[in-house]
Structure 1
């Protein structure tokens, strides 16, 4: 990319693709709802649309840096430095918002916070609590762990921190060996900044007990905690 016109063209192409995908998503979503097809496909459509935006921004930023790698690269580093917390908050929100259970009017419990989702934003959510509406940043959920309670199915999606010497792949194999996890529901495991620590989001089958799964992990030398700070 050698000229500003190339960048303008790239932005137009990215925007045109987003507009096309939005129209496709809208039509495809209406089609799936009318046909009453499995909700997993709707969740997949939601994820694709959700993650396209940051990918599109990365493409545009890459084009901007390519025009002048040194000067423009420094500008991007400065902007990223000043917005580091919000950037991390946005990235945390992407994975939380990708949950198929996350929707308006869903009950959320995270530590001492308990309320119903009134609005979902890019950086956080507005919860209706007993004390009134409350804004909660996504990084707060990552720090304390959270539980989503679906009003329609009463299915629980939980968040739990794990500490183990096992690799991520071996830990996933161990987790999926237990039949307590709900089939067709996403189970996500991502490495934490702390060594040998992982954050897991999972959904239990209806009627299953969270304590049984915890005991299973403990029996296999996997430590569990509600937050990332195991030494607290």
Structure 2
């Protein structure tokens, strides 16, 4: 890529692919709903569409940097530096929004915040609380941990911070060995910047008690906490 016209062509190609995929997503979603196929396929469609946008922007930014690696790279670094917090907030939101349970009218609890989702944005959510509408950044949910309570199935998805010297693969095996996790429901283990610290999003089977799962982890020398600050 040596000319601005090449970058314009790249933008048009990325945009055309997005339009094509949007039409495919729309048709495929209608087909799945009409056939009443398992909701997890709808969740996969939603997740794929959600992550396409940032990937498309990365491709465009990559093309912009290739035109002039030094000056354009410096511009991108400066912009990323000024928008570091919002960028991290957006990335946190991607993983939170990927949950199929995250829809409007779902009850959310994060620390002392409790409310029903009124609107879902790219950087946060508007919750209807007892004190009125409240904007909550996604990084607030990552910091305090959160619970999504489905108003239809009463299935709980929770967030839990773990500390363990086990490898991520061994820890995943340990987690999924416990029958309290709902089969077919999303569970995700993410390694954090702090050594041996992880953030687990998990879904319980209906009627299960999360205390039983936590006790199971403690029995296997896995420390749990509601935030990433284990020393507090």
Alignment TM-score, normalising by the size of structure 1: 1.00
How many pairs does the alignment contain?
232
User: How is 1:51-200 mapped onto 2 (pairs within 5 angstroms)?
Assistant: 51-200=51-200
C-alpha separation in 1, matches of 2:112 and 2:21: 39
Q: What is the Cα deviation at residue 223 of structure 1?
A: 0.2
Provide structure 1 residue ranges, at least 5 long, that are not aligned to the other structure: none
CA-to-partner distance for each residue in 1:211-231, whole Å, 9 max, x for gaps? 000000000000000000000
Q: What is the Cα deviation at residue 8 of structure 1?
A: 0.1
C-alpha separation in 2, matches of 1:118 and 1:27: 26
Residue 202 (1) aligns with residue 229 (2): no
Task: Please name the residue that 2:24 is paired with.
Answer: 24
C-alpha separation in 2, matches of 1:7 and 1:177: 49
SS at match of 2:109: strand
C-alpha separation in 2, matches of 1:29 and 1:168: 34
C-alpha separation in 1, matches of 2:206 and 2:150: 12
C-alpha separation in 2, matches of 1:78 and 1:19: 31
Residue 49 (1) aligns with residue 49 (2): yes
Alignment TM-score, normalising by the size of structure 2: 1.00
Provide structure 2 residue ranges, at least 5 long, that are not aligned to the other structure: none
Quote the RMSD (CA, aligned, Å). 0.4
C-alpha separation in 2, matches of 1:29 and 1:54: 21
C-alpha separation in 1, matches of 2:57 and 2:202: 29
C-alpha separation in 2, matches of 1:53 and 1:109: 28
Q: What is the Cα deviation at residue 41 of structure 1?
A: 0.4
